Amino acid sequence: MRQYRRYRLKRKYVLRRALLIAAALLLAVGLFALGRWAVGALTAPGPAEPAGPAQPDPAPVDPVEPQAPQLREGDTTVSTPRANIHRGDLILVGSQNAYEFPEQEPYVSVYENKTSSYKVRDRNVRVDEAIVPYLNAMFDEFYAATGVRDVIVVSGERSYDSQKNLYDKYLAEQGEQYVREYVATPGYSEHHSGLAVDLSIYKSDGTMHNYTDEGDYSWIIDNACLYGFVRRYPDDKVAVTGVSYEPWHFRYVGRAHACLMQQRGLCLEEYLELLRQYPYEGEHLIFDDSDGSRYEIYYVEAEAEGETQLPVPQELAYTVSGDNAGGFVVTVKTA
């Protein structure tokens, strides 16, 4: 009897243990299923958002055209390419401004076009054809005023190769300091433009002397501006031009500009800086000439690329010159 009771207790214990294990398994399965459902609910995609209206492709953007300036009464515009900043009587050529050589050379022999009032070294001396009449007129008047005609033009336009030969010659003979002060680097010489001449004195005995503005020759420096010429490298502007004093070197810039430069004591570098302070939209620089003429001068900055719309008068005479830097000088004869 005791053995049977012990058997029953043991069977009940085994049964209870089996039930507990089964319950634990069911609970584990239920929790696992619940976790799977919860994860699915969190990650399942929701209902699709309603599609909005289709967005059109962005419209192509046209390049911005340069805006013409607000014109004054009686003015219009003319179109000119940026390359023209390198052309004209007022271009600045120097150590910081290289000369842009033209495809077609405008140079002519001075000897073959001069009057009898001055001399020329040889037939190979050339200048820009446009300045020959002014060169002739200046020396004709000089001869009429003084009776002297021994001024000789020894240099005018120089090609790149001519300037290089000259530079190499003086570098070998005089040294680096000399060429730094007196001889321009090839490509950076004002002589490339054909707008400059170097003068000397050729005496009747066949001797050549350095040009000075002493005695009769002072007439030239006093009156050169009336023919459009200035002494390009004055002794008091060495720090500005970077070139030592050259009393023999004259540059054509046009009458109004030459006389303004002389009146105000400015070299070309300073004068161009002055002109940039007179844009078309603002106040213009006025010059009253001794012959009764009046000129109005203003500056127009060139477009970075393409064409620049230059405001100019419709009825009055005007000239346009680049500055070989970034813009144009417009000179209008108003009277």
Here the CATH number for the domain that contains residue 127 is 3.30.1380.10
Domain boundary among 229, 252, 275: 252
Query: For the chain, what percent of residues have pLDDT higher than 70?
Result: 80
List pLDDT tens digits, range 264-305: 999 999 999 999 999 999 999 999 999 999 999 999 999 999
Q: Show which residues are catalytic.
A: 246
Write out the residue range of the structural domain in which residue 192 sits: 101-252
Of the candidate ranges 48-62, 136-150, 217-231, 281-295, the one whose mean pLDDT is the lowest: 48-62
pTM of the model: 0.80
Answer yes or no: is pLDDT of 24 > 90: no
Phi, psi dihedral angles at 32 (to 5 degrees): -60, -45
96: helix, strand or coil: coil
Tell me 102's DSSP state.
Answer: -
Q: Residues 186, 318: one domain?
A: no
Provide the domain count of the chain. Answer: 2
Residue 27's Cβ-side half-sphere holds a number of Cα atoms within 13 Å equal to 6
List pLDDT tens digits, range 147-204: 999 999 999 999 999 999 999 999 999 999 999 999 999 999 999 999 999 999 999 9
Answer yes or no: is pLDDT of 13 > 50: no
Q: Please tell me the predicted confidence (pLDDT) of residue 149.
A: 97
Answer yes or no: is pLDDT of 322 > 50: yes
Q: Please tell me the predicted confidence (pLDDT) of residue 25.
A: 52
Of the candidate ranges 32-36, 134-138, 219-223, 255-259, the one whose mean pLDDT is the lowest: 32-36
Q: Residues 140, 247: one domain?
A: yes
Domain boundary among 227, 252, 277: 252
Residue 9 gets the label, from left (phi > 0), alpha (psi -120 to 50) or beta, of alpha
Of the candidate ranges 9-13, 131-135, 180-184, the one whose mean pLDDT is the lowest: 9-13
Least Cα distance to 198 among 154, 237, 165, 160 occurs for 154
Domain assignment present for residue 23? The answer is no
Q: Please tell me the predicted confidence (pLDDT) of residue 178.
A: 94
Q: Residues 232, 148: one domain?
A: yes
Please report the DSSP string for 116-142 in residue order.
Answer: TTSEES-TT-EEEGGGHHHHHHHHHHH
Answer yes or no: is pLDDT of 90 > 90: yes
Give mean pLDDT, residues 325-329: 98
Q: Please tell me the predicted confidence (pLDDT) of residue 292.
A: 97
Check which CATH number belongs to the domain holding 75 and give it: 3.30.200.180
Q: Residues 294, 232: one domain?
A: no
Least Cα distance to 306 among 64, 102, 129, 88 occurs for 64
